[in-house]
């Protein structure tokens, strides 16, 4: 991965009364909208997006309650986020776009494509074609109480890195983490996406099943294979893959040995798959 990346300026737009953050890497091709996973922001795509802007106009939206987008008391459902994505396209004068979603963003893509089929050209799920309502995991990492305040930003980064594989550390993760905290006068930082703040989003995700049979757009699902899948979770992952393949009208499946952030640690393979599919 590169030691340095160029990130476009932060941009903001008010949608449905909420101030949203987004990034625009430019490009003269067809629009491609990227939607991040739970707890992540548009910056998480900072190592992927520049390698797509030669063929697409690449945008990434930060959902409600995340990063530099306004904190909210409502609108946590994946269908709400799908409408926010549609509103962004409206605000930018984009009639139709390819849409790629990582993790939770994959569910938002499905909701968008099912509700507004004319707005979505092609879909890419980046380890995001899972029916979380059927997950056998009783408690997710986001539901385990974690510190909200850290003595320094370095302490916060060390804590987050302890939860992630070494393969995803780098400029994209660094850029994202800087948008997820508030810094106090004494140098301490507060995590904006605390366990309490994340709870309504986790609940929304845990009740979601993809409406594949209502989706007409061709769809590519890139799944991560790795040691994270064991026992009942491995069986569930395979069942999700099989349902996607069986119920989506124009489905394609790729499996890569990678972490959940496969667009970082297997970036070049994901880029090759996206370029081929979206072409």
- 4 is a domain residue: no
- 186 is a domain residue: no
Helices (H), the chain: 78-91, 104-115, 153-163, 171-177, 195-206, 231-247, 262-265, 267-278
Domain range for 70: 11-139+196-278
- 261 is a domain residue: yes
- The CATH number assigned to the domain holding 201 equals 3.40.50.1820
Specify the number of domains making up the chain: 1
231-246 in b/e form (b: 16+ CB < 10 A) is: eeeeebbeebbebbee
Q: Tell me the per-residue pLDDT of 15-46, one tens digit each, with 9 for 90 and over.
A: 999 999 999 999 989 999 999 999 999 999 99
Q: Tell me the per-residue pLDDT of 238-275, one tens digit each, with 9 for 90 and over.
A: 999 999 999 999 999 999 999 999 999 999 999 999 99
Other beta carbons within 10 angstroms of residue 38's beta carbon come to: 20
107 to 27, 83, 129, 202: CA distances (angstroms)? 26, 12, 7, 13
- 180 is a domain residue: no
- The answer to whether the beta carbons of residues 45 and 52 sit under 8 Å apart is no
- 172 is a domain residue: no
Least confident of 51-60, 112-121, 139-148: 139-148
Q: What is the pTM of this model?
A: 0.96
- 87 is a domain residue: yes
The whole-angstrom distance between residue 147's C-alpha and the CA centroid of its chain comes to 23
- 123 is a domain residue: yes
Running DSSP on this structure, what letter comes out for residue 48? T
């Amino acid at each position: 991965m590169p030691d340095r990346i160029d990130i476009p300026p932060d941009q903001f737009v008010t949608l449905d009364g909420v101030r949203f953050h987004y990034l625009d890497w430019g490009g003269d091709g067809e629009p491609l909208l990227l939607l991040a996973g739970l707890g992540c922001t548009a910056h998480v795509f900072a190592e992927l997006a520049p390698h797509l802007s030669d063929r697409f106009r690449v945008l990434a939206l930060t959902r409600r309650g995340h990063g530099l987008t306004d904190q909210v008391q409502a609108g946590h459902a994946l269908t709400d986020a799908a409408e926010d994505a549609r509103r962004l396209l409206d605000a930018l004068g984009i009639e139709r776009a390819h849409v790629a979603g990582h993790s939770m963003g994959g569910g938002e893509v499905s909701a968008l494509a099912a509700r507004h089929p004319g707005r979505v050209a092609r879909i890419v799920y980046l380890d995001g074609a899972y029916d979380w309502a059927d997950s056998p995991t009783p408690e997710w990492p986001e539901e385990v109480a974690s510190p909200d305040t850290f003595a320094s930003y370095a302490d916060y980064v060390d804590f987050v890195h302890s939860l992630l594989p070494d393969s995803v550390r780098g400029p994209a993760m660094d850029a994202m983490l800087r948008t997820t905290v508030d810094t106090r006068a004494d140098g301490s930082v507060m995590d904006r996406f605390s366990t309490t703040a994340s709870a309504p989003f986790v609940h929304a995700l845990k009740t979601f099943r993809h409406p594949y049979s209502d989706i007409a757009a061709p769809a590519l699902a890139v799944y991560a294979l790795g040691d994270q899948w064991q026992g009942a979770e491995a069986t569930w992952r395979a069942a999700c893959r099989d349902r996607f393949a069986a119920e989506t009208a124009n489905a394609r499946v790729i499996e890569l040995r990678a972490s959940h952030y496969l667009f970082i640690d297997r970036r070049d393979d994901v880029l090759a798959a996206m370029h081929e599919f979206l072409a």
